[in-house]
Amino acid sequence: MHPEFACNLLEALSLPPWREKLDWGLHITSKWEKRILFSSYVRPITSTSTTNSYEGRAASFPHFGKLSAELQLHILGVCSASTLFQLMRVSSALRTEASKLFWANPNAYFVVDAWWLLDGGYPGYQCCDLAFLQNVQNVEIAYEPYLNRDIWPEKNGERAVRQDLITTFWNSIKRRFPRVKRVSINHSGEPRIGGGFDTVPPPLQALVQACPCTIEISVLILERQHFPSADTSTEIQPRETWQKSQYRLTGGHVWERADSRHSETILLPMRQFRGLVGRFETLKHRSWRIQLQQQGLWPLAIEALDRHHFDQGRNEPFACPWPECDAYFDKGGAWTKHAVVSHYQHAGPFSILPDEIRALFEERAILLEERRGQAKTQFSRMRDEWNNAGQEERIAMERVWTEQLESNNLGDVTGGKASNNKIWECFLEWANGSYY
């Protein structure tokens, strides 16, 4: 892993005081960015102190309806996303206000791929739940560095911005996210230029400058962290330190670094499709989630070791378990910060963990590997199902697929031709190939 992504790892981990249990369902990308499943985001909190929390008491307060509207709104304002989501579903009296607060949560952004929006945002290209998108107000856009070349291609030694692509991008956003209020473009790759305002690549600047004035736009970018000389005595001296910063373009076309940014990036829920292609997409999504959980094991192990020594009132200083490292930790959180900076590249093995927690991690790793194996078997069966099907059966399978798109009022699947969409093309390529 590249050192610039270590800052993502630090953001993905919990530091003391730990208020929630260790998250065994942690999902981490290959760039060590944390992703939250929508089902986890709205799941009732399992904090050890939930029953004593203000929110917990409010949720079970039987006289809530007798309070003044002002007081009710105040209480709703301190509820978690999961509580608001439950209220949206069970309380007709509170649904409207709870819904407003749920979708406006400034800490939670729903993530979508930039390539999809640049391609036109067609339903036949993505399996996320499009009806869900209609309510989303905060959108994080995963922007891979190769898109810079697409927006700003070089031809005969000259570069020119593809305004048509930029127009398509913003039209896609307006059409798919009609209630969008805030967009944060996450430039997730290696930065081209370290530090300063030039960190935002020119193609991305062009994209941001075309943002409609009704949307609050920002850019997440990796940049070098500069330490004041007075900080050279801090407990950890990184070899190379990066940070992820958020920049906003002001009215005067000046990039300004924001003080804070959203902390939760949530995966969009999937649409449910029938038929062979529907099952294929569901399995692909499940396999990807298993991969994210496997990538989450090492970050989780870092946090677990810290908590093993300093959580729940324990105070057991310890030496870095990594061979030939003489760091020593006498307070909670110090090991986590050290591991992120000095051992981020040593994903596993779990042999450095004490016996009590090592067994848990080894069991979890085996379980995830088994699930991955099961998914591979299911993929093979699906491929056989397609390859053993006759011509008429294949036509019927395709019809099941296209009818679902059409019945979902997804008429602009690919600009007109429903059968010729990327999901279908991807399926055929897989069925005739050998990957997975």
Give residue for tokens 């439950």: 86
Sign of CA dihedral 100, 140, 16, 25: positive
CB closer to Zn ion out of 166 and 320: 320
CB closer to Zn ion out of 270 and 352: 352
CB closer to Zn ion out of 122 and 335: 335
Distance CA 51, CA 45 (A): 10
CB closer to Zn ion out of 325 and 395: 325
CB closer to Zn ion out of 115 and 322: 322
CB closer to Zn ion out of 342 and 414: 342
Integer angstrom CA distances of residue 143 from 61, 125, 127, 157, 171: 44, 17, 18, 25, 17
Give residue for tokens 């994209």: 207
Torsion of CA 175, 178, 184, 187, to 10 degrees: -10
Supply 275's token pair: 């038929």
| Smallest gap from residue 53 Cβ to Zn ion (A) | 36
| DSSP strands (E only) in 164-208 | 182-187
| Smallest gap from residue 383 Cβ to Zn ion (A) | 45
CB closer to Zn ion out of 154 and 324: 324
| Smallest gap from residue 346 Cβ to Zn ion (A) | 9
CB 76 within 8 A of CB 101: yes
Distance of CA 330 to the CA centre of its chain: 33
Cis peptide before 106 (omega within 30 of 0): no
CB closer to Zn ion out of 322 and 430: 322
CB closer to Zn ion out of 330 and 406: 330
CB closer to Zn ion out of 236 and 254: 236
Helical (H) or strand (E) element with 158: strand 158-159
| Smallest gap from residue 358 Cβ to Zn ion (A) | 17
Distance CA 100, CA 77 (A): 10
| Smallest gap from residue 228 Cβ to Zn ion (A) | 25
| Smallest gap from residue 342 Cβ to Zn ion (A) | 5
| Smallest gap from residue 334 Cβ to Zn ion (A) | 11
Distance CA 250, CA 211 (A): 12
Distance CA 99, CA 103 (A): 6
| Smallest gap from residue 343 Cβ to Zn ion (A) | 6
Distance CA 34, CA 262 (A): 12
Q: Nearest Cα to 117, choosing from 104, 128, 103? A: 128
CB 333 within 8 A of CB 65: no
Phi then psi dihedrals of residue 271, to 5 deg: -75, 150
Cα angle, residue 151 at apex, residues 147 and 153 outer, rounded to 5°: 100
CB closer to Zn ion out of 329 and 386: 329
Which pairing describes strands 318-319 and 264-267: parallel, antiparallel, or unpaired?
unpaired
Q: Which residues bind Zn ion (CB under 5 A)?
A: 320, 322, 325, 327, 342
Supply 81's token pair: 């996303």
Q: Nearest Cα to 370, choosing from 280, 287, 278, 281? A: 287
